[in-house]
Structure 1
Amino acid sequence: MNQENPDSSSTQRFKRNAVSIFVGLAAIALLICAVTYLPKIASVSTSVGGRELPIYCVDTDKPQISISFDAAWGNEDTQTILDILAKHNVKATFFMTGGWVESYPEDVKKIYEAGHDLGNHSENHKHMSELSTEEQTQELLKVHDKVKELTGVDMILFRPPYGDYNDSVIKTAAANHYYPIQWSVDSLDWKDYGADSIIQTICENKSLENGSVILCHNGAKYTKDALETVITTLQGKGYEFVPISQLIYKDNYHMDRAGKQISDT
């Protein structure tokens, strides 16, 4: 009768244990690698004190600001504005209503071809906070589809008409892949006080700083007359104009109580 060799049995047990240890170490190594190289999950918080906020301005060390134009009526000055922006190599952001897009499709294409941001200003320029969630969604999507058909662009920036919003408006915008945008510097150009008033209101504004968003209107009476001086004055102060899509953080951010967007990285 064959008798098992004790040395052979010990060797087999050693080999089995060694294999188990190797497999275990390999699994641990793979887990460490997975954790190390796993993409970070984007963190976005727009709620402050239980209230949802849009982006008014951006916290940044870079001397960058954005100038924006709400386009809801008229196009008489649009080409002049585009010419001035091009002359000074400034890229801006245009927030357009559905009615404006329908009335001036060629201007929409010109704005896009000039390299400016295309922004959503709702379909009918209504007070968004007074609408149901479904109505808010339709106000966003109708103009979105019109602009995409004209330019192929999926807009990501939304400015509520009249700056009117509530929690529902902000959440609806986010649900439709939009960053809600307000402003920190109001030109008050819509009051028609004249070009000098616009220049002073913007360039001497106490809220003007790195990350500011300036509000203008392409259809206001004196905006085109003030624009060049506004640009050269602010460039002279060391500011660089960038479109809002380049100014804001796309993820990993939170808001402070003033609506300033702050990076978490």
Structure 2
Amino acid sequence: MTNRTRRLLFIVIYGAALIVLLNYQPIHHYISTLKNVQIVNGDRNENEKARLRAQIEKWREGREEEPIDAVVDQTWKAIPGYNGRVVDVEESLNKMLAAGVSSPDLLVYKEVPPAVSLEQLGAQPIYRGNPNKPAISFMINVAWGNEYLDSMLNTLDKHKVKTTFFLDGSWVKRYPEEAKKIMARGHEIGNHAYSHPDMNTLGTQRIHQEISRTQDVIFKTLEVKPSLFAPPSGAFNQRVVQIAHSSYQMKTILWTADTVDWQKPSPASVINKISRKMENGVLVLMHPTSTSEASLDQLLTIAKKKGLQPTTVSEVISSRRLPSP
């Protein structure tokens, strides 16, 4: 028998043996067993999902919150609403399965907006944010006080805080580089009229002039269009609020707590006074003065210790919920 014949015979015998082996009952039984194991594992996975979904449903209790509508209060005028929250069961389930951990800390929430928003209240002054939102703003009105700006900006940077600077239009015209410095540090820019007038005494044309000239110079200098208007000295009437709202799509902003820093009180007295008024949704009025320069660092520290997040005015009056720490 030649070598070639032997090789052919070996191939035939090997192939026949393989066919017999594949049709042997234990092999079929093994394959069937694997399929059964896959089915069992699949059932276990579905059972685990069902168990975890039921646990998530239990965790929802006491953790979901109804939204709060914006309202017009007799004292505080327009009070913004506050988004509610509900647990997104499917997203929570997927997150826990991916992490291999089941914990209420991994719940995923969806925000639910209120039925009545701040915008639906129309032309109303705003003195504060919603009392359920743990946010506070140390807003700064600027028409003078350049010598204290750098220090206050550095303090805000130290605390990683962005706030709102309401800029006088004539100040921006005189000190464009100072205005750009504020903008470059990432702060929100608001309109503080052009010449620091008593807006309550102005006619319609002059009200328009004070607001529009400031809008123009801010846009020309900083390329932003403010959506917030802070009347100088807090002097305003409904006509001012209406014009700002209807003609310039701006909200009129007042304050909840006043440092009265222009009277040069001691920093200690300001810290004592303002710290007692710190609560959810408070807007604190400041200026670039020596008093506010000296008290800002401690005020920010106290606010954080109280569980408040110092931020911009727009964020405080928004119905959005703050991200969890």
User: How many pairs does the alignment contain?
Assistant: 204
Of 171, 183, 189, the residue aligned with 1:112 is 183
* 2:259 is the alignment partner of 1:187: yes
Of 287, 295, 298, the residue aligned with 1:217 is 287
- Mapping of 1:12-161 within 5 angstroms? 44-46=120-122, 53-161=124-232
CA deviation map 1:26-56 (0-9, x unaligned): xxxxxxxxxxxxxx9975224xxxxx64100
Q: Percent identity?
A: 34
CA deviation map 1:160-185 (0-9, x unaligned): 01101111010011021111000001
Give me the whole-angstrom Cα distance separating, in 2, the residues matched to 1:247 and 1:41: 17
* 2:237 is the alignment partner of 1:166: yes
Larger Rg: 2
* Structure 1, unaligned runs of 5 or more: 1-39, 47-51, 251-265
Of 240, 248, 264, the residue aligned with 2:317 is 248
Give me the whole-angstrom Cα distance separating, in 2, the residues matched to 1:248 and 1:145: 25
Structure richer in helix, relative to its length: 2
Give me the whole-angstrom Cα distance separating, in 1, the residues matched to 2:283 and 2:116: 28
TM-score (norm 2): 0.60
Bigger drift between 54-63 and 79-88 goes to: 54-63
TM-score (norm 1): 0.73
Contact 1:124 1:139 in 2 (8 A): yes
Per the TM alignment, residue 150 of structure 1 is displaced from its structure 2 partner at its CA by: 1.2
Per the TM alignment, residue 98 of structure 1 is displaced from its structure 2 partner at its CA by: 1.2
Q: Calculate the aligned-residue CA RMSD, in Å.
A: 1.9
Aligned to 1:230: 299
Per the alignment, in what secondary structure is the counterpart of residue 76 of structure 1?
helix
CA deviation map 1:131-151 (0-9, x unaligned): 111110110010111111111
Contact 1:95 1:159 in 2 (8 A): yes
Instruction: Summarize the Cα distance change of 1:41–1:223 in structure 2 as closer, same or farther, 3 Å threshold.
Output: closer
Instruction: Summarize the Cα distance change of 1:89–1:174 in structure 2 as closer, same or farther, 3 Å threshold.
Output: same
CA deviation map 1:63-118 (0-9, x unaligned): 11111011011300101100000000111111111121122211111111111110
Moved over 2 A (4+): 40-43
Greater relative contact order (Cα < 8 A, sep 6+): 1
The one-letter amino acid paired with 2:216 is D
CA deviation map 1:176-227 (0-9, x unaligned): 111100000111211111111111111112xx32111000011x23111111
Contact 1:188 1:201 in 2 (8 A): no
